[in-house]
Amino acid sequence: MSLHRYFRCTQEGTAFVVEVLRPVGSLAEEDVMRELDEIIAATAGQPTCKMIIDFHQTAYFGSSLLEALRIIWTKIEDREGRMALCNLSPVGKEIVQIAKFDHLWPVCETRAEALALMQ
Amino acid sequence: MTRVLIVDDSLTDRKLAGGIITRAGELDVHFAVDGQDALDQIELHLPDLVVTDLNMPSLDGLALVKAIREQYPMVPVILMTGHGSDAIAVEALRTGAASYVPKMRLADDLVDTVQQVLAVSHADRGRARLMRRLQRQQVEFQLENDVELIMSLVQFLQDAARGMKLCDDADRVRLGVALQEAIINACFHGNLEVSSVLRETDHHAYYELAKERAAISPYAERRITVSVSISALEAVFVIQDEGPGFDPHSLPDPRAPQNLERPSGRGLLLMQTFMDEVRFNERGNEVTLVKRRRPSSPEQESP
């Protein structure tokens, strides 16, 4: 079993939940890319994909994480996938809004709210 | 007198820990019955140290560590861990607890641990007080194209700005995000000359190319120079790479609806949003970021 430093992916019902464990410095770090590939591989077999990104362990992040979200999104949107973000800190929300990523995906206060939205 | 707050829902364990801790020196020991009670007491009177159980009703030890870390970062927390709570203890240490003592070893280890943590904490407070009296600091770093070094430098600069009371905790985070974006840009787009166009089509190829170039000439010899001047009024960060430069106006607006799913420009956008001033030199290989103290920030702390 590989150790997850940046992302932990679990399945809750029909949705995949990706917890962001720490700020991502750059996607050039091998662990980041490997863990990102694992998430993409885990969802690959699904005809449609519901993805929740949970930020409760990470108060802030930059464009590298936004880029990771964009990569995940490009892999699932073709399959009528859906994605939601939850548990963002005030600064985290600010960053998502600056990038206008809240126009792409709903931002929920809690994981339960995001799961309900995905049903 | 040094004030210690012991948090445990068990009266017996509270008394046991309290009795042992008084052996660590002249300490003013207080008690709370759970995490919420602890936070209520901390709000009224800030302790020098918190010693807490992990498993408690209302607000458990892990949540308490998180709350103290966020609201009272200078107050260290020691955990008292029971059998089978190793995983939560590791999580609490990751969250910011200073140390831990297994409950079955309280009598042997708690006094030493309290003394060690208090000694470090006093040194930290002294350093923080000294830093708040610093009027100006100027530093310059020259970095290889190494993400780990970049992250460490960002942390150092955040701490320096925060230490001089230039920004509050929220602005410290924004400052860190902006600096990280600027220095990572200098590394990848400046020195290693990898283009976002490639990232748009194949993100693996983009990072592979960066990795290859980091090891070959002329890219490998290029350095990032970060010159910093921080005063009580403003911080000026000048970040220069040794690449050919770029035209910042050539970047697409990442907020435009047609560009939302493209990778370019978000780093610059975050820099411009979180700093008071962002300007490039004519060649486009040097960016100057300015962060000014907000007028409401206090001039001086109490001694």
ipTM, two decimals: 0.80
Cross-chain Cβ contact A71/B257 below 8 Å: no
Alpha helix (H) ranges present in chain B?
A: 11-21, 35-44, 61-71, 86-95, 106-131, 147-163, 169-185, 196-201, 203-213, 266-274
Cross-chain Cβ contact B270/A95 below 8 Å: yes
Interface test with A, best of B147, B264, B271, B272 (most A CBs within 10 A): B147
Residues in A closer than 8 angstroms to B151, CB to CB, are 25
Q: Is B141 on the interface with A (CB under 8 A)?
A: no
User: Measuring CA to CA, how many Å separate B203 from each of A21, A96, B29, B146, B237?
Assistant: 22, 21, 56, 19, 30
Q: Which residue of B has its CA nearest to A89?
A: B170
Cβ within 8 Å of A, B 189-228: 199, 203-204, 207, 210-211
Residue B300 confidence (pLDDT)? 42
Q: Which residue of B has its CA nearest to A97?
A: B255
- Closest CA of chain B from A116, distance in Å: 25
Q: Is B176 on the interface with A (CB under 8 A)?
A: yes
Q: Is A13 on the interface with B (CB under 8 A)?
A: no
Please state the φ and ψ torsions of residue B142, each to the nearest 5 degrees.
-125, 120
Residues in B closer than 8 angstroms to A90, CB to CB, are 170
Per-residue pLDDT of chain B (303 residues; tens, 9 = 90+): 889 999 999 999 999 999 999 877 788 999 999 999 999 999 999 999 999 998 888 788 888 998 998 888 889 999 998 876 777 778 778 778 899 898 888 888 899 999 999 998 988 888 878 877 888 999 999 999 998 899 999 999 998 898 888 888 788 889 999 999 999 999 999 999 998 778 777 888 888 899 999 999 999 999 999 999 999 899 999 999 999 998 888 877 777 777 766 767 888 888 999 999 999 999 999 999 999 998 764 444 444
Residues in chain B: 303
CA triple B289-B292-B297, angle to 5 deg? 150
Cross-chain Cβ contact A25/B151 below 8 Å: yes
Q: Which residue of A has its CA nearest to B261?
A: A70
**Average confidence (pLDDT) over A77-96:** 91
Q: Which residue of A has its CA nearest to B171?
A: A91
* CA–CA distance, A88 with B84 (Å, rounded to integer): 31
- Give the nearest partner residue to A25 out of B147, B203, B204, using CB atoms: B147
* CA–CA distance, A102 with A84 (Å, rounded to integer): 9
Residue type, B86: D
User: Measuring CA to CA, how many Å separate B125 from each of A27, B74, B135?
Assistant: 36, 7, 18
* CA–CA distance, B100 with B291 (Å, rounded to integer): 38
Please give the helix or strand (H or E) that residue B52 lies within, else none.
Answer: strand B49-53
* CA–CA distance, B290 with B175 (Å, rounded to integer): 10
* CA–CA distance, A24 with A46 (Å, rounded to integer): 27
Please report which confidence band the pLDDT of residue A1 belongs to, taking 50, 70 and 90 as the band edges: very low
Residues in A closer than 8 angstroms to B204, CB to CB, are 33
Q: Is A34 on the interface with B (CB under 8 A)?
A: no
Q: Is A41 on the interface with B (CB under 8 A)?
A: no
**Is cis: bond before B252, omega within 30 of 0?**
no
Residues in A closer than 8 angstroms to B184, CB to CB, are 25-26, 62, 64
The whole-model pTM stands at 0.71
Residue B187 confidence (pLDDT)? 95
Query: Among residues B103, B131, B123, which one has the least CA distance to residue B48?
Result: B123
Residue B282 confidence (pLDDT)? 93
Residue B302 confidence (pLDDT)? 41
Cβ within 8 Å of B, A 88-107: 90-91, 94-95, 98-101, 103-104
Which tens digits make up the pLDDT trace of A8-49?
A: 989 888 899 999 998 887 777 778 888 888 888 888 877 778
Residue B296 confidence (pLDDT)? 62
* CA–CA distance, A84 with A82 (Å, rounded to integer): 7
Tokens of B90: 């590791």
Cross-chain Cβ contact A99/B254 below 8 Å: yes
Q: What is the 3-state secondary structure (H, E, C) of chain A?
A: CCCCCCEEEEEECCEEEEEECCCCCCCCCHHHHHHHHHHHHHHHCCCCCEEEEECCCCCCCCHHHHHHHHHHHHHHHHHCCEEEEECCCHHHHHHHHHCCHHHCCCEECCHHHHHHHHC
- Closest CA of chain B from A26, distance in Å: 7
Three-state DSSP at B137 gives: strand
* CA–CA distance, B227 with B148 (Å, rounded to integer): 19
Residues in A closer than 8 angstroms to B266, CB to CB, are 63, 66-67, 99
Residues B39, B64: contact at Cβ < 8 Å? Answer: yes
Please report which confidence band the pLDDT of residue A2 belongs to, taking 50, 70 and 90 as the band edges: low
